Amino acid sequence: MDSLKNMTSTEKYEVINNPTTPVAVLLELAKDEDYSVRYCVAKNENTPGNILREMAQDGHGFVRRQVAENPSTPEDILRELAKDEELVVRVRVVSRKNASKDLLVKVFEYEKSLREPDEDVIKTLYKNKNLPAFAKRVIETLFGEMIA
């Protein structure tokens, strides 16, 4: 994999976006020192769950945001990202069209437990069609001013 180290970022992006790129190469690029390369790996729908799991712990928020948006990200990883310190990561989790009711309720319970729940997360949760009606009623009661 020494050849990857000699590539430019642009060349690495091409490798990442090639549907025939082996998983071992994606794994190596997921550890690249350039966060934009890691971002592209996290964005790639062909990146396997085990690599996305590692990337969900990335020190750069942009990478974690892409893991949250990737349709291939397993729900257990999304549950962890739903508690991410970075607001935008949490918003990306709850804005997923295919987010399960269970995941959305877990995120709501987490936000509700915070001393200061985030308005953007609450608004995005409320707008998600998969959020159960009971949770919407609780949001209306507790956080009506946030969704008005």
pLDDT value at residue 94: 96
Low-confidence residues of the chain: pLDDT under 50: none
- pTM over the 0.75 mark: yes
Q: Where are the domains of the chain?
A: 1-73
- Tens of pLDDT, residue by residue over 19-40, are 999 999 999 999 999 999 999 9
Q: How far apart, in whole angstroms, are the C-alpha atoms of residue 141 and residue 2?
A: 57
pLDDT value at residue 1: 59
User: 16: which 2 tokens?
Assistant: 């990442």
Q: 37-43: long-range contacts (C-beta < 8 A, 24 or more apart)?
A: 37/9, 37/12, 37/13, 38/63, 39/63, 39/66, 40/12, 40/13, 40/16, 41/16, 42/66, 42/67, 42/70, 43/69, 43/70
